[in-house]
Amino acid sequence: MIELEVNCVQRPWPDAAHHDITYLGHLGFACRIPVDLVILQIRGKLNRYYTLDPQTHDRVYVELRRETGKCPYLQTQVGGQWTGHLLALPDCRPTDRIIREGVTLDTRQAVRFLVPR
């Protein structure tokens, strides 16, 4: 399983909630991934996504949150508590390359997006 750092999100408006996020991305590598693809990769245990806590610099993993009567969406979790780390990230640039749906990142493809452990 590949672990990929996320340091930007794309949302339809500035104060959008977690379930409104449409892309996760990395500003340094100028790319973003549609949330639907991220959800498929997390469900299939293909890739794992994280962001860095701004205070501790620890990895905070992006998890799939399921609530009764709602579509699953992405949110970070620390110590069993849901957190707002994704909402605190800056917006991705609209010009960043989109990694298309249906593409699974393998080690070769992810090398530019991957931040080493």
Q: Each residue of 66-111: pLDDT tens digit?
A: 999 989 999 999 999 999 999 999 999 999 999 875 444 554 445 4
Q: Is 44:111 a contact under the CB 8 Å cutoff? A: no
Domain regions of the chain by residue span: 2-105
Side chain identity at residue 88, one-letter code: A
For β-strands 59-65 and 73-78, DSSP reports them as antiparallel
Euclidean distance between CA atoms 75 and 64, whole angstroms: 7
Interval 18-66: pLDDT, tens: 999 999 999 998 999 999 999 999 999 989 999 999 999 999 999 999 9
Is the model's pTM score more than 0.85?
Answer: no
Q: What local confidence, expressed as pLDDT, does residue 18 receive?
A: 93
Q: Is 51:60 a contact under the CB 8 Å cutoff? A: yes
3-state secondary structure at position 3 = strand
3-state secondary structure at position 38 = helix
- The region that residue 64 occupies, defined by phi over 0 for left and psi between -120 and 50 for alpha, beta otherwise, is beta
Q: What local confidence, expressed as pLDDT, does residue 111 receive?
A: 46
DSSP state of 114: B
